[in-house]
Structure 1
Amino acid sequence: MAHHLDLEEQEQLDRLKHFWRAWGTPITSVLIVVAGAIAGWNGYQYWQNRQAAQAAALWDVADMAVRAGDQARMEQAFGDLKAKYPGTAQAAQAGLALAKALQDAGKTDGAKQALEWVAQQSADEGLEALARLRLSSLLMDQKNHEEALQQLSGNFAPAFAAIVADRKGDILWLQDKRPQAIAEYRKAYQGFEDGLEYRRLVEIKLDALGAAPQDVAASAAQARQP
């Protein structure tokens, strides 16, 4: 009986050796790739966390500079964020803060450059939308209406749709394009919830253009009916 078991064990061992000769190299290669992928992922996670921490530290510097009104320090912090951590939310936030400070100081060219960078480089669609909206306002003030409208073209997050429509209406009104302005204001009026102060402001604009907001509300209500 013991001899039978020894033969059976030997057969199993021979089959294992044969299997390993046939498949040992591919299995080892796969294990090496998997181990490398795990190590690479862990390294990437560490790098990301380190990047975020360093970007946050620079944003703190920029924020303190904003509070202190230290424009030179703000520009330096924003420059470091752009150079080292361009894809972070902190870089976009610093750009928006710097743009506001520069615009308040009457340095519109610098403000425009900061907003353009955020609009083009931010990975956060909300911060990108804010940059484009603020840039459109700055261009409106410079009477550059066509470029202001270009900033409002393309895709925006749904949460910004009504605000974008209202801003388009403002620009079209300045261009004496009354029907187009009314159309955009109607979109904005329908997009804002009832009771919002912003909706009341759009209503005033529609009244000034001779368009009845009540008709807009009635059309929207009919559209919602099954």
Structure 2
Amino acid sequence: MATHLDLEEQEQIDQLKHFWNKWGTLITTVLVVVMGGFAAWNGYQYWQNRQASQASALSSAVEAAVNSGDKTRIDQAFGDLRSNYGGTIQAAHAGLLVAKAAGDKGQMDDAKAALTWVADNASDEGLKATARVRLAAVLLNSQAYDEALKVLNTKMPTEFDAVVADHKGDVYLAKGDKAQAIESYKSALQKTEPGVEYRNVISVKLNALGEDLK
């Protein structure tokens, strides 16, 4: 009996050896690739979390500098954030914050610079579009009408269609092109969902231009 069992065990061992000789290298390679990929993914996740944490800290520094009104600190903190973590969401939000603070103080060149950076470098398309729309408003305020239209003609997510058309209307009106302004405002109205308060703002502009929307 023992001899019979020994023979069966030896046969199983021989089969296992044969299997491993045939497939062992491939199995080992697959395991190395899988484990390597797992390790790389964990490393990437750690790197992303670390980037986000450090970007958040610098973003908070930007916010504190904005609240203090210290332009030197704002420039330094935002500059560090752009240089080291420019591709993060935090950097884009900080840029919008810096631009708003500069605009509120009438520092239009600084506002334009911050918004241009966000429009060119933000990783999120929505934040890019937000920066472009606000940049167009700054350019309109500076009477740079053609430049404002160029920014508004940049491809943006469809959810911005209405506000882009509305801003185009503002630019055309400032340029003295009433017909084009009316066309843009009507386009903005058509692209705004019924019941949205923003429709009333556009309607007021059209009524002021003599358009009866009844």
Q: Is the 8 A contact 1:55 1:88 kept in 2?
A: yes
- TM-score normalised according to structure 2 size: 0.92
Once the two structures are superposed, residues 67-126 of structure 1 have per-residue CA deviations (whole angstroms, 9 ceiling, x without a partner) of 111111111111111011111111111111212222333332222111100001111222
Partner of 2:143: 143
Tell me how far 1:191 sits from its aligned partner: 3.0
* Gapped regions of structure 2 (runs ≥ 5): none
CA distance in 1, matches of 2:209, 2:151: 24
Partner of 1:7: 7
* Gapped regions of structure 1 (runs ≥ 5): 215-226
Once the two structures are superposed, residues 170-190 of structure 1 have per-residue CA deviations (whole angstroms, 9 ceiling, x without a partner) of 112222333322221112223
Tell me how far 1:43 sits from its aligned partner: 0.9
SS at match of 1:106: coil
SS at match of 1:146: helix
CA distance in 1, matches of 2:174, 2:42: 55
Partner of 1:95: 95
Identity %: 54
Q: Is the 8 A contact 1:71 1:101 kept in 2?
A: no
CA distance in 1, matches of 2:45, 2:62: 26
CA distance in 1, matches of 2:145, 2:156: 19
Partner of 1:105: 105
Structural RMSD (CA): 1.7
My pick for the range that moved more, 170-179 or 91-100, is 170-179
- Answer yes or no: is 1:43 the counterpart of 2:30: no
Aligned length: 214
CA distance in 2, matches of 1:150, 1:79: 27
Once the two structures are superposed, residues 18-43 of structure 1 have per-residue CA deviations (whole angstroms, 9 ceiling, x without a partner) of 12112212211111111111111111
Partner of 1:82: 82
Aligned-partner residue type, residue 201 of structure 2 = L
CA distance in 1, matches of 2:75, 2:150: 27
SS at match of 2:153: coil
Once the two structures are superposed, residues 187-226 of structure 1 have per-residue CA deviations (whole angstroms, 9 ceiling, x without a partner) of 2223334454432221121122232223xxxxxxxxxxxx
Q: Is the 8 A contact 1:168 1:184 kept in 2?
A: yes
SS at match of 1:213: coil
My pick for the range that moved more, 205-214 or 33-42, is 205-214
Which residues of 2 match residues 31-180 of structure 1 at below 5 A?
31-180=31-180
SS at match of 1:189: helix
CA distance in 1, matches of 2:197, 2:72: 37
My pick for the range that moved more, 178-187 or 132-141, is 178-187
Which residues of 2 match residues 21-36 of structure 1 at below 5 A?
21-36=21-36
